[in-house]
Amino acid sequence: MATFLDLPAELRNAIYEWTSLSQPPTGLKRREDITGTFKCHIIGTPSGLIAMNRQINAELYSVIWSKAVKKATERRKEHVQEAKKRREKELQGAKE
């Protein structure tokens, strides 16, 4: 009998994408572990998949993290563009 991990990686990634869309993470939590290293944990992930095994956990987290980075980058670009517009308006107001 075939298992989930027998599926091609592309198909598993598609399933992770769909899962993360249907149950998006609610946030990030930064914690310090016993060695003093800070680690970020995703809050509100589909725990059923995360708990299945280490490989699935790693694959799902990589999909979720890549989405989080993309979203943060888009937000940053928007913020920079808004800041530029505000600065241009301030400069125009100072010239008048």
CA dihedral over 44, 53, 48, 8, signed as positive or negative: positive
Q: For residue 90, what pLDDT is reported?
A: 87
Please state the pTM of the whole predicted model. 0.54
Separation between Cα atoms, residue 25 and residue 4, nearest integer Å:
22
The model's confidence at residue 54, banded by pLDDT at 50, 70 and 90, is confident
The model's confidence at residue 96, banded by pLDDT at 50, 70 and 90, is low
**Apex 84 CA angle, 80 and 87, nearest 5:** 135
How many other C-beta atoms are found inside a 10 Å radius of the C-beta of residue 16?
A: 20
Three-state DSSP class for 28? strand
